[in-house]
Amino acid sequence: MTSSRLSDRLSSSRRRSDPGRRWVRVVMAVLATIGVIDTGSITLKKWGILGSLSCSSEGFFGCNGCEKVLSSAWGSLFGQPLSLFGFLAYGAVLLMAVVPLVLQGEARVTLGQRSWWGLFLASTGMAVFSAVLIGVMVLGIRDCCPFCILSALLSLSLFVLSLIGGDWEDRGQVVFRGVIVALIVGLVSLGWAAAVNQPASDMGRGVPPAVTSASTPQTIALAEHLTSTGAVMYSAYWCPHCHEQKELFGKDATAKLKVVECAPDGRNSQKALCDSKKIEGFPTWEINGKLDSGVKPLAKLAELSGFKG
């Protein structure tokens, strides 16, 4: 009997360290790497290190290029981009998937067994949180972000792979721990989403943030010249780059600009006009009949419009 038990344990140990399951770890490592790149890119863009100064108006499945989602009240946590925490989560999954592959001997078996629990619990929490974020995008922000959808698909895939890859002797424990993690993450996520709902609803009224910088006589004169010559700034209330452009002019000068709201849910929206002009990014300037997208230095706007002040 003792010999039989020892044989069963050795057989179980071999199964846990079976290199045949390496493919699951490899696939999870690849998906986690994609997740690191995905969330890392969003984080760098939020920090102003990566990305162009233009918000796409049309995108994947009708998404508004992620800007509206990332600029919403749900786009940050503890003063940092929410994507930063996704980056850390994917990084942790990547380490747990890869490290046991490079170890040898007993350390590989021991860490391999424990890492499957880590992969399972982490991916469970990530999948639940991603589901909450998808709900927020659909019901709260009423827009979508391709990068966020990709992250949700990656989280769900990692969760499924963790179930396939782990050598679960006690499936009851798997269900119990998975449900506990899902409940905790779900309740905390829903509480957080509800707590920031009020600020987000203000943005949902379609009003751009107020311009706070002060204007100068030169910026006011430039704004008046642009308007008098028929220049138009096509904008979306949720676009941070549009707000950045307005801040360059200042509060009083911005009030003298002709700004066309292109977001369909924006206040005084003129989406039909924007569509007829084939506006592809925000902000877009129309000066002397020519369209030019992106935030423009005031000197560039003066040059394009022939302002000599």
Which string of b and e fits 71-93 if b means at least 16 CB within 10 Å? bbbbbbeeeebbbbebbebbbeb
pTM of the predicted structure, to 2 decimals? 0.67
Cα separation, 151 vs 33, whole angstroms: 11
Domain 217-305 class in CATH: alpha beta
- The pLDDT of 260-285, averaged and rounded, is 91
- 160's tokens: 């499924």
State pLDDT tens for residues 34-90: 999 999 988 887 777 765 545 554 455 556 557 777 777 788 888 788 999 999 999
Between 199 and 256, residue with greater pLDDT: 256
- The pLDDT of 241-260, averaged and rounded, is 93
State pLDDT tens for residues 19-39: 447 899 999 999 999 999 999
Is residue 12 pLDDT above 60, yes or no? no
- 279's tokens: 């506006």
What CATH number belongs to 2-203?
1.20.1440.130
Cα separation, 140 vs 142, whole angstroms: 6
pLDDT band at residue 217, thresholds of 50, 70 and 90?
Answer: very high
Is residue 103 pLDDT above 50, yes or no? yes
- The pLDDT of 175-192, averaged and rounded, is 95
User: In the chain, which residues fall in CATH 1.20.1440.130?
Assistant: 2-203
The full DSSP string for 273-290 is HHHHTT--EESEEEETTE
Phi, psi of 62, rounded to the nearest 5 degrees: 80, 10
- The pLDDT of 201-227, averaged and rounded, is 84
Is residue 14 pLDDT above 80, yes or no? no
State pLDDT tens for residues 128-150: 999 999 999 888 777 778 888 89
User: In the chain, which residues fall in CATH 3.40.30.10?
Assistant: 217-305
